[in-house]
Structure 1
Amino acid sequence: MSYIGVDIGTSVIKAALFDDAGEQCALESAPARVVSPHEAWFEQDMEEVLTAVAMVVRGLLKSAAAQTAGPPTLLALTGQGDGVWLVDGAGRAVRPAVSWMDARAAGIADRWQADGMSETVFRRTGGAMFPGCPAPVLAWLDAHEPRVLDWALTAAYCKDVVMQRLTGVRATDTSDAALPFLDPVTRTYATDVLDACGLAHRADLLAPVVEPGPTGVLNDEGAALLGLAVGTPVSAGPFDLPACARGSGVDEPGVGHLIVGTTLACQVVIDELDMSGEPAGLTLPLGRPDRWLRSMPAMVGTAALDWVLALIGRTHDGVDELLAASVPGAHGVRCLPYFSPAGERAPFLESGARARLDGLTVQTTPADVVRAVCEGIAYAARHCFEAAGLSGDVAICGGGVRSKHWLRLFADVLGRPVHVAPSAEVGAYGAVLAGIAATGLDADAGAWATTRAAATTVVGPGADSTRLYAGEYDRYRATVDRARTEWKERQV
C-alpha cells in the first residue's frame, strides 16, 4: 500500500509518496505562478494550478518507488488557505482566483477594523479579518464585480477547487471554513457573522462543511488528468497550516508549531477557546471537539529573505555562509520584517505595516543585512507565539529550516528547543493522516508517529545567544509599538 499527499502551495506545488510504514519515499514539485494585474493585486489561474497538480502526481507515479509500491491507496490534498476561488457548478473558474496575499480589499478591512465590526467577528469566531481573507474579498467583489458572484456557484478554497474537479464533490473542511464564517463550537456557519459582513445574500456561495473532511473518488476527468485509476479514494483538507501541525505530531495543549515558509505561521494547540486579547490570527478546529489551533500566520516569512537575497545577488544556497559571516545582533543592523504590501495580520492587524532596516552604515555588509532580516523574522515568530500562548517546545518545518544557522537562530530567539521532522513534506504527510482518518482506511498511524518521533532532530538554544537575543527582542517590541502608532497616523 502507498499514499500520495499533494500540497498545493502559493509558489510551489508538491506531491509526496508515502509507503505502508508512513515513510516518504519520493517527491515531485512544480512552480506555481502568482500574477499581479494591478498594484497590490495577486491572482492565480486555476487551470495552471490544476495542470501543475497533474504534473507532480504523474511525475511521482513514474518514480522507482511508485513502480515498486503499486497503485496508491489514497490521494490526499492540502494547500494554501484564504483568498477566494470562484467556480461554477463544474468547478471551473469564473474569474482568476484572488490570493490570500491580495490587498484590493484593504479599504474594506480597514473600515471594518475602525468601526469595530472586525472585533465583533473576532469575539464570535476567534478569527481576525485581513485584506486577503474571504469576507473582505467577497465584499469587494460584491461591490465591484457583482455579476461574477452571480455567475459563480461556489466561493471556494484552493484545495476544494482541485477536489471538485477530480471528484465532483463540492465541499470544504472546518479549517478552511474557519475564517471568518465558522462557529468554532458548533462547526457550522455563523449566520450572524455573514449578516455583520453584509454578505447574508451571498451565503449560498459557501460550500457545505464536512467533518472530518471531504472525501470522494476520482471521476473519469480526474483519473485521466492524473494518470490514476477511476475510483481511487481522494480526500481534501485540512488546509496547509493545520495539515503541517498534524504532520509534525503537534496535538498537546501549549505545544507550538512553526512553519518557516512564504507565510511565517506560528501555531499553538489549545483546549479552551479564548477570544480575548487583541484581535489577530485564527482559531482553527483540530480534528476533535476539544482541540483547536491558535494560529498566528504572519504575512511574510521566507518571502522577506527572498527579497533581500535578490537585492544582493545571492541565493538560498548561500544563507548559511552569510549568517556565519555576521554576528548575533548583525553589527547593530535591525529589521522590522513587514514586507507584504497588504501589511500584517498576526500578531496584530495593521494593513499599513511596512518593513524597515535601521542601523545601516557604509561598513554594513550584505551578511549583516541578511542576518538582520533573519533575526527580525525570528523576533516576529516569538511575538506571534507569545500572543498565541506558547508554553511548550516548538516543532518546526518549511523551506527555511534548510539553513542550519537560521534553525539555531530560531531556537536562540525563542529560548526553547525546536524539533525538526525527519521528512520535509509534513504538510503532505498531515494531509495523508487526515485522509486516512476521514476515509477509514486501514493504516497503523500510531506506529508511524512513534517511528517519526524517534527520527526527529532537536536543536536546543545556546545560553549566551539566548541572553543577547532576549534584550534585542525587547528592543524589537518597543520599535514595533512605536511603528504601529506611525502606521496609524500615516493612514489618517
Structure 2
Amino acid sequence: MGGSSVARQAVVGIDAGTTAVKAVVLAPDGEQLGWSRAPLTAVHQGDRVEQDMEGVWSAVCDTVRAALRQAGGDIDVTAVGVTGQGDGAWLVDAGGLPCGPAAIWMDGTAAARVDQWERDGRGALVRDITGSSLFPGALPVLLEQLEQDHPARLERAAHHLNCKDWIRFRLTGEIATDASEASRTYVDVATGAYSDALIDGLGHQRFRHLLAPVRPPWSTAGTVGVEAAAATGLAPGVPVATGLVDAAAGGLGLGSLRPGDAYLIVGTTAFTATVREGKGRSRPEAAITLATGLGPHVLECLAPMAGAPNLDWVTRVTGLDGSSWAEVEQLARAAGPGAGGVVYLPYGSPHGERAPFVDRTASAAWVGMSIRTTAGQLVRAVYEGIAFTVRECLGEADSVGERVLRIAGGSASSDLLCQILADVVGRPVERSTAPELGARGAAALAMVSGGTVADLDAALLGLSRPVDVFLPDPTARALAGRQALTFAAARDALRSVWPSLRELRASTEAVSSPSSSPESAPDADGTESL
C-alpha cells in the first residue's frame, strides 16, 4: 500500500538566559520531539556586564535549527514562543540594529545612582508605582548611566527591547513587549500600562520614545519573516507569541497559574515567586512585582543575586572542582544537617544583595568554623545557606501557606538541594520531571497564539508531567528552625563591617583582577534575570 504520512503538529519554545539559549520542539501533548542548547557569554569588565546582541541572535538560530533537525522533517510548526532574561538595556536604532552590546541585568555600573535615587525619593516613587525595588540592572537607572557613559548609544537609540523582545523582533520585525517585562521599566503594576506620573517624576520624558507597546503574552506579535526563516529553519509566516519574561514563563512551565501558587527557580539567582490577585497589599521593600497580562494576577517575587554560583564557587575554593557533583554531594550528605555548626551567608554576588534585603555592600561568609571543620561541612553549609535565604524570601512574601513549593532550574536536579529545601522551608517540594520549563512556558503561550488549544489552561494540562516529591524530615525540620535564628543573627552581626570589607576588596582588586567571573553550576538553566 502507498501513501504519505501526515505531518505532526508542534510548537517551538525558545528560552534565552544569561548563560545559554535553549530551544525545544513540543507536540501538543507535551512530548519533546527536539531539543538543543548553545552557551552564551557575558563580558565582565569591573562592574560592567554586557552581552553581544547579535551573538545572542546567532545562538538562537543555531539552537532552533538543531532542535528542528532533531525533531525530524515530518512536523508542522504551528507557532513559536520566546522567553528570556529580563531587565538590562537592549537598545536598537531606527533600522533595528544594536546600538552596542546589551547592558544586562547583572550590570552594576549604576549602583551609586541607585543610592542617590534612594536618598532623593525617586526610589520610593519607583516602588510605589511599579511595586518593585530598584537595583542597578533596572532599565530606568541604566538609561541614565548609559547616557553618562555612552551618550552616542542613547542618541542613536530608537527602541528598548528586552532579551526575548529582541529575539522576537529578529524573528518577526515587530516591536513589542509584554506586561511582565514592562513592569521593570515604567509600568504601573496596578494597571499594566506605562505611568506618565513615574516617567515625569523621574524626569525621563526624553526616554519615553524607547518604550515598546505592551501586548498580552499569548497574543501574536508577528510572524516569522523570510530572512529569519532562512536563518532558523522555521517556515515563513509562522505566528510568534508575545511571551513573558523567563521568571514568569518558568512558573507557567511548572503549572503555577493560580493565586497562592509558589515556586522557586534555582539558576544564577534563587528566584522565588508567588501568584497573587492584583496589587492591593503591602509588599516587602526588596520585592519585585510583575504584572502578567493574565487577568488581574501579578507575580510577587524576591530574587537573591547569587543562587547556584555559590555551589560552583565552593567546589573551587575547597579543591573539589575536579570531583563529580555526585562525589561533592556525598561529602555534603555525610556532613549531616547543621553542617557541624557552620553557617554560610550566600551573598556572593560582587554587586551586593537585593533580596530578601537590599544592601549593595553585602558579602558572603562562613561563620562557625574551627580547625576540625571539613570540606564536606563547608559544602553542606553553602547548600543550607541558599535554603535559608529561600526560607526568608518565602517568609517575607508570605508565599507558601499550606501549599507545596514547586522547584525548577539547573540546580533543581540535585536531590540533596531539594531535600534540604524541604527541611528548611518546612513544606513539600515538588520537582517537575519535564525538561526546559522556561521554554515549555513559552511554548504554552505559543499553543494559544497558534490556535492549537483553546486557552492557557488547556495548554498547561497538555504540557504537564509527573513530579518528584521531597517531604520535610521532622528531625531536620526542627533543627532548621533553630538554625534559622542563628543564620539571621550571624548576618545581622556582620552587616556593620560589609562596607569596609567592600572598600578593602576594591582596593585589592585594583592591583589584582579576578581570574574568573562567577558562573553557575551544575547548570545555570533557570531564572537568571530577576
Tell me the secondary structure at the aligned position of residue 285 of structure 2: coil
In structure 1, the partner of 2:51 is: 44
Q: 1:255 aligns with which of 251, 257, 261?
A: 261
In structure 1, the partner of 2:190 is: 185
Greater relative contact order (Cα < 8 A, sep 6+): 2
Kindly indicate whether the alpha-carbon contact (under 8 Å) linking 1:139 and 1:197 is maintained by their aligned counterparts in 2.
Answer: no
Q: 1:56 aligns with which of 54, 63, 76?
A: 63
Distance change in 2, residues 1:406/1:491 (3 Å): closer
Cα deviation, residue 132, structure 1: 0.9
TM-score, length-scaled by structure 2 = 0.88
Q: 1:350 aligns with which of 345, 353, 359?
A: 359
1:277-324: CA deviation from partner (whole Å, max 9, x where unpaired): 542121112332321110111111111111112332425454432322
In structure 2, the partner of 1:394 is: 405
Tell me the secondary structure at the aligned position of residue 16 of structure 1: strand
Distance change in 2, residues 1:242/1:444 (3 Å): closer
In structure 2, the partner of 1:199 is: 204
1:329 and 2:338 correspond? yes
Tell me the secondary structure at the aligned position of residue 445 of structure 2: helix
Kindly indicate whether the alpha-carbon contact (under 8 Å) linking 2:444 and 2:459 is maintained by their aligned counterparts in 1.
Answer: no
Kindly indicate whether the alpha-carbon contact (under 8 Å) linking 1:121 and 1:180 is maintained by their aligned counterparts in 2.
Answer: no
Cα deviation, residue 275, structure 1: 5.7
Determine the C-alpha separation between the residues in 2 that align with 1:439 and 1:488.
52
Q: 2:391 aligns with which of 377, 382, 386?
A: 382
Tell me the secondary structure at the aligned position of residue 71 of structure 1: strand
Determine the C-alpha separation between the residues in 2 that align with 1:316 and 1:71.
39
1:340 and 2:349 correspond? yes
Cα deviation, residue 254, structure 1: 2.1
In the alignment, residue 437 of structure 2 is paired with which amino acid?
V
Choose 283-292 or 446-455, whichever is displaced more: 446-455
Q: 1:30 aligns with which of 38, 47, 65?
A: 38
TM-score, length-scaled by structure 1 = 0.94
Kindly indicate whether the alpha-carbon contact (under 8 Å) linking 1:90 and 1:168 is maintained by their aligned counterparts in 2.
Answer: no
In structure 1, the partner of 2:6 is: none
Determine the C-alpha separation between the residues in 2 that align with 1:407 and 1:334.
19
1:240 and 2:249 correspond? no
In structure 1, the partner of 2:431 is: 420
Cα deviation, residue 73, structure 1: 1.4
Kindly indicate whether the alpha-carbon contact (under 8 Å) linking 1:124 and 1:275 is maintained by their aligned counterparts in 2.
Answer: no
Cα deviation, residue 445, structure 1: 5.6
Cα deviation, residue 230, structure 1: 1.1
1:362-401: CA deviation from partner (whole Å, max 9, x where unpaired): 3322221211111111111111111112122211101111
Choose 51-60 or 317-326, whichever is displaced more: 317-326
Choose 47-56 or 480-489, whichever is displaced more: 480-489
Distance change in 2, residues 1:142/1:126 (3 Å): same
Q: 2:152 aligns with which of 147, 150, 153?
A: 147
Cα deviation, residue 209, structure 1: 1.1
Question: Which residues in structure 2 correspond to 1:53-202 (within 5 Å)?
Answer: 53-63=60-70, 65-68=71-74, 70-202=75-207
In the alignment, residue 342 of structure 2 is paired with which amino acid?
V
**Aligned-CA RMSD value:** 2.0
Kindly indicate whether the alpha-carbon contact (under 8 Å) linking 1:6 and 1:16 is maintained by their aligned counterparts in 2.
Answer: yes
Alignment: residue pair count: 489
In structure 1, the partner of 2:10 is: 2
1:363 and 2:372 correspond? yes
Kindly indicate whether the alpha-carbon contact (under 8 Å) linking 1:266 and 1:385 is maintained by their aligned counterparts in 2.
Answer: yes
Question: Which residues in structure 2 correspond to 1:434-473 (within 5 Å)?
Answer: 434-442=445-453, 446=457, 449-450=460-461, 455-473=466-484
In structure 2, the partner of 1:267 is: 273
In structure 1, the partner of 2:524 is: none
1:40-67: CA deviation from partner (whole Å, max 9, x where unpaired): 211101111111111111111111x343
Overall identity of the aligned pairs, in %: 37
Cα deviation, residue 491, structure 1: 8.2
Determine the C-alpha separation between the residues in 2 that align with 1:197 and 1:489.
31
Kindly indicate whether the alpha-carbon contact (under 8 Å) linking 1:77 and 1:431 is maintained by their aligned counterparts in 2.
Answer: yes
Determine the C-alpha separation between the residues in 1 that align with 2:196 and 2:456.
37
Cα deviation, residue 442, structure 1: 3.4
Cα deviation, residue 112, structure 1: 1.2
In the alignment, residue 401 of structure 1 is paired with which amino acid?
A
Tell me the secondary structure at the aligned position of residue 369 of structure 2: coil
In the alignment, residue 22 of structure 2 is paired with which amino acid?
K
Kindly indicate whether the alpha-carbon contact (under 8 Å) linking 1:17 and 1:66 is maintained by their aligned counterparts in 2.
Answer: no
1:422-463: CA deviation from partner (whole Å, max 9, x where unpaired): 212111111111223344443676456446656122211110
Structure 1 gap ranges (5+): none
Determine the C-alpha separation between the residues in 1 that align with 2:450 and 2:461.
22
Cα deviation, residue 93, structure 1: 1.1
Determine the C-alpha separation between the residues in 1 that align with 2:284 and 2:500.
19
Choose 409-418 or 482-491, whichever is displaced more: 482-491
Choose 436-445 or 408-417, whichever is displaced more: 436-445
Cα deviation, residue 252, structure 1: 2.4
Kindly indicate whether the alpha-carbon contact (under 8 Å) linking 1:139 and 1:198 is maintained by their aligned counterparts in 2.
Answer: no
In the alignment, residue 18 of structure 1 is paired with which amino acid?
L
Q: 2:297 aligns with which of 274, 291, 296?
A: 291
Determine the C-alpha separation between the residues in 2 that align with 1:261 and 1:149.
31
Determine the C-alpha separation between the residues in 2 that align with 1:120 and 1:80.
25
Determine the C-alpha separation between the residues in 2 that align with 1:464 and 1:77.
43
In the alignment, residue 264 of structure 2 is paired with which amino acid?
L
In structure 2, the partner of 1:19 is: 27
1:219 and 2:219 correspond? no
Determine the C-alpha separation between the residues in 2 that align with 1:478 and 1:440.
54
1:54-108: CA deviation from partner (whole Å, max 9, x where unpaired): 1111111111x3434x132112100000111111233321111101011000000
In the alignment, residue 283 of structure 1 is paired with which amino acid?
T
Tell me the secondary structure at the aligned position of residue 383 of structure 2: helix
1:233-260: CA deviation from partner (whole Å, max 9, x where unpaired): 2123201000011111112222211001
